[in-house]
Amino acid sequence: MRIAILGKPFSDETAPFIQVLFDELIRRKADLYVVDHFKQFLSNTINIPEYVQSFNRGDQLEGVDVVFSIGGDGTLLDSVTYVGARQIPIMGINTGRLGFLATIPHDSITAALDALYKGRYTLDDRALIRVDSDLDVFDGINFGLNEFSVLKQDTSSMIVVHTYIDGEYLNSYWADGLVVATPTGSTGYSLSCGGPLVLPQTNNFVISPVCPHNLNVRPMIVSDKSVISFEVEGRSSSYLASLDSRSVAVDMTVQLAVRRERFTARLVKLHHVNFLSTLRNKLNWGYDKRNVLLG
């Protein structure tokens, strides 16, 4: 099996588990490729063979069977940008905090590898959001797994986000910003803004205002077949456009629109893990001591 590995620095307490990962992959004679900056960190942290190859963003990852994302959910979001339209399956190993997307605990690595090699998993295709603009804003990587946001920048003043769906006027949001989330992103920033939870396989976007200065503005669910476009006004000359964890200052004259990307992110899902159990276990969704017996 040919495996590409991306990751971020981890604590000394986690190092023995990552050593187990590499030892087990070497024992299974996997061809290993590690993103360059992470390989440099690993070389000073654990023992990895000299023959492990490195790669950088933009490399084609030809013939790679699976990508391991070692870190938290932010690392997995970044891994999606490395994979892009190649749709290589991504397995998230959690060495961070919550691990809502990176669902494999670092102390379950051996069991997860065994399941992977024996085919005891499914592939969970997740919709991506794509940003179109009259100026290249995100250096050609104009897609994300969670959400796109328009936010105020460096000022206490609100911005006004004039929003259109398929060219028809929806609303002008007087707010700190606006979030358009995928179903996957409905458990992220959108949730913090009061947006609803949406099951991963529903074909929707969630539009959620950030701190709206209006009592009758609420989050809204729209079809992901829609094109959502924006015109932004404010006292500042620029606003902040954010795509997952990547943020860029954008001039007020730049026009942006979002739609569903033509390809998906393909996540490796082990058979004992599902979205509803993750909601309960990670976010304490529906927690009530009366429900303990129901699991």
Choose, from 31, 73, 134, 251, the residue flagged as catalytic: 73
Q: CA dist 251 to 209, 226, 235, 246, Å?
A: 20, 25, 12, 16
CB 66 within 8 A of CB 91: yes
Cα–Cα nearest to 253, from 164, 149, 133? 133
Residues facing 34 on adjacent strands: 5, 54
Counting Cβ atoms within 10 Å, is residue 259 exposed (0-12), middle (13-18) or buried (19+)? Answer: middle
**Cα 257–chain centre separation:** 19
Q: Are strands 220-223 and 228-234 parallel, antiparallel or unpaired?
A: unpaired
Long-range contacts of 120-123 (CB under 8 A, 24+ apart): 120/270, 120/271, 121/268, 121/269, 121/270, 121/271, 122/269, 122/271, 123/89, 123/266, 123/267, 123/268, 123/269
Share of the chain residues as helix, strand and coil, in percent rounded to the nearest 5: 25, 40, 40
CB 105 within 8 A of CB 15: no
Q: Is 59 a catalytic residue?
A: no
**Cα 79–chain centre separation:** 8
Active site residues: 73
